[in-house]
Structure 1
Amino acid sequence: MAAKLAKEPEILELSNGSITAKIATWGATITSLLVPDAHGNLADVVLGFDTLEPYMKGISPYFGCIVGRVANRIKDGKFTLNGVEYSLAINNGPNSLHGGLKGFDKVVWDVVERKGGECPSITFQYHSKDGEEGYPGDVTIRATYSLRHSTTLRLDMEAVAENKATPINLAQHTYWNLAGHNSGHTLDHSIQIWGKHITPVDENTIPTGEIVPVKDTPFDFTTEHKIGARINDVPGGYDHNYVLDCGDEKNGLKHAVKLKDPSNSRTLDLWTDAPGMQFYTANYVDSISGKSGAVYVKHSGVCLETQGFPNAINQPNFPSVVVQPGDKYKHSMLFEFSA
């Protein structure tokens, strides 16, 4: 199918008969995802809005979108690369968060390919210009959502740095509630994370540079626990980067997390090739009017943001997020649903 260049943002549908996703050209955002439980009952398992207007007005706390050029936080909105200091917009306390004031979540992406058939897919593309939000160099980003199997959604992201070295760290920022987006808090969901270490943070949620074991702490999800079991032992709730260091591999992707809702046994297994994952329990969501009259409150969803480590551009001991001119950044994730 011929490329369709961005005009007015729109919501597109991707379905294989088992699961149905609605994905907007605004932010390459998953606005709805219908997934069956063991009895075949469908529920929309992602938080979001019925129309594009709230996303475009900035009411959304990154519901369902792709964030970049650099996901998560950069300390003081500053970094130095090849001897040049760059300054970014400050939009999260003293930090720059998720690409700045107008990150990739707040732009219209072009639809460059749509495929039907047994493995339907949609490919979005965005060109980020040199200097955009303070970042160096032109970057072309592609994101392909595909339905690989009856209940599997895959996302493949790639970005090419065209003319300058630049940090690139994309993340998919869906808020999951496997009981259904309108079913209240997720503290009863159980979760297992294949990470034996986290990157602890300071008072501004910036990693200290340490990598510490989770053993014997409230951050230990190497075996399955309810999200709410120890959340009160974590000031403010979970909003931490896990080092994905102990998962099985499949097709080049490692097992990052298993999320399960006890009320209907709906389960999400997430596989990725990213080194880290931000586990965030919607601590700052406060009475947001969402789809079909639902009101989203604190802990209404769970974010599982596979990523490079936060503030890696300023932490030489973290895996580098710098992409050299002509090189390609790649990041894939597989969302497997079962019940």
Structure 2
Amino acid sequence: MSVTRFGLLDDGSAIERVSLSDGGLQVNLLSLGSIIQDLTFDAGKGPQRRVLGFEQLGDYVAHSPYCGCVAGRYANRIAEGRCVIDGQTYQLTRNEAGRTHLHGGEIGFSHRVWQILDHGPQHVTLELLSPDGEQGYPGNLAARCTYRITGEGELAIELSATTDRATIVNLATHSYFNLDGTEDILDHVLEVPATHYLPVDAHRIPTGEIAPVDDTVFDFRTGHALRAAPGKIQPAYDHNFVLGRARSMAPRLAARLIGPLSATQLEIRTTEPGLQFYDGARIGPLVPGHGGRRYGAYAGLCLEPQIFPDSPNHANFPDAVLRPGETYRQLTLYRFSRV
């Protein structure tokens, strides 16, 4: 484990990088956004990079599409940036096309500097204090994130939060995975054991329907490659899959992803009821990433455990309200192995 200076923000804030390693897994983490900046895993052919990221701090500030961060206070989308808590309507910032609240707003948790509270050979804990009224949210919120290498090829991510006033909370990890280091992830094989998913409107807001995956392009119960068959249109994925209707006490299987060239598998288990799958179709080659590579469409994909998007505006979705005296908790496990 080591802690080094990664860079300075324009306001002079120092951003630290924490490196953890054990059992063939090495993870570099930033105090900006609690970001996974780099992650390598040795599946028998030497350490290989498994996530997208950037080498320069300025590129995260100016260009990163939430790359590797912890998104919040409410990850994903809220329609028109409005929510009602205990009969009171709150207007959150609308930072997507002027109408949608996305990943916590203009300055969400991904753009904030987290403080390192504790660290050891295989773990680090970071904390962020979000004041009442930030981005329109009620309540002073204290959020914590612990990254811990817990075994051979396993990274545990523990997220928690407390508040002094009723508010909404939905934290999500937002790494872009590419297990093979290829130009795109379309030949990766994805398995998601969900029987239902959330259809969305033209603004990627859930319609409120919880639809079966049967006979749709959203059926990943049997793992298959993401690339469309010859002559077929490539499906567009930025949808939430239903793992359950509430959080589970213990992490359950959310997804398996296989990189066929590297023979590497990533298994994700989580306590969250939803999994957002984004295929990375809108990634643009703005600036060089790791190794000088410019990331284009489908350069990586996101598998984000979370509460359902726009949950505060749908009575049939899981409750996202956190109240004083309660503790929000999420545990997500990334398990890397050789196929």
Q: What TM-score results when the alignment is normalised by the length of structure 2?
A: 0.92
- 1:11 paired to 2:13: no
Unmatched tracts of structure 2, length 5 or more: 1-11
1:38-57 equivalences under 5 Å are 39-57=44-62
SS in 2 for 1:295: coil
* Residues 194 and 245, structure 1, Cα contact 8 Å, conserved in 2: no
SS in 2 for 1:318: coil
- CA offset at residue 325 of structure 1? 1.2
C-alpha deviations, 1:200-254, integer Å up to 9, x for none?
A: 101111001000000111110000110113696566x1000000149xx9x8110
Q: 2:106 aligns with which of 101, 113, 116?
A: 101
* Residues 24 and 47, structure 2, Cα contact 8 Å, conserved in 1: no
C-alpha deviations, 1:111-135, integer Å up to 9, x for none?
A: 000012xxx1000000000000100
CA distance in 1, matches of 2:225, 2:132: 44
Residues 91 and 230 from structure 1, CA distance in 2 versus in 1: closer, same or farther, beyond 3 angstroms? farther
Residues 304 and 329 from structure 1, CA distance in 2 versus in 1: closer, same or farther, beyond 3 angstroms? same
SS in 2 for 1:105: helix
1:147-166 equivalences under 5 Å are 147-161=149-163, 163-166=164-167
Instruction: Give 2:33's aligned residue.
Output: 27
Q: What TM-score results when the alignment is normalised by the length of structure 1?
A: 0.92
1:52 partner letter: L
SS in 2 for 1:333: strand
- 1:70 paired to 2:68: no
1:255-266 equivalences under 5 Å are 255-266=253-264
Residues 152 and 75 from structure 1, CA distance in 2 versus in 1: closer, same or farther, beyond 3 angstroms? same
SS in 2 for 1:334: strand
Instruction: Give 2:187's aligned residue.
Output: 188
CA distance in 1, matches of 2:283, 2:105: 19
CA distance in 2, matches of 1:230, 1:112: 49
Instruction: Give 1:332's aligned residue.
Output: 331
* Residues 218 and 230, structure 1, Cα contact 8 Å, conserved in 2: no
1:229-308 equivalences under 5 Å are 229=228, 233=233, 237-245=236-244, 252-288=250-286, 289-308=288-307
Instruction: Give 1:167's aligned residue.
Output: 168
CA distance in 2, matches of 1:305, 1:84: 29
Taking only the aligned residue pairs, the percentage that are identical comes to 38
* Residues 156 and 332, structure 1, Cα contact 8 Å, conserved in 2: yes
* Residues 27 and 107, structure 1, Cα contact 8 Å, conserved in 2: yes
* Residues 197 and 212, structure 1, Cα contact 8 Å, conserved in 2: yes
2:277 partner letter: F
Unmatched tracts of structure 1, length 5 or more: 1-5
SS in 2 for 1:133: helix
CA distance in 2, matches of 1:233, 1:271: 31
C-alpha deviations, 1:15-68, integer Å up to 9, x for none?
A: 11511100000000001001112x2421111101012121123x1000000000
* Residues 218 and 233, structure 1, Cα contact 8 Å, conserved in 2: no
* Residues 218 and 234, structure 1, Cα contact 8 Å, conserved in 2: no
Number of equivalenced pairs: 322
SS in 2 for 1:267: strand
- CA offset at residue 83 of structure 1? 2.1
2:71 partner letter: V
* Residues 228 and 234, structure 2, Cα contact 8 Å, conserved in 1: no
- CA offset at residue 291 of structure 1? 1.6
SS in 2 for 1:54: helix
Residues 245 and 91 from structure 1, CA distance in 2 versus in 1: closer, same or farther, beyond 3 angstroms? same
C-alpha deviations, 1:123-161, integer Å up to 9, x for none?
A: 000000000010000010010000000210110000001
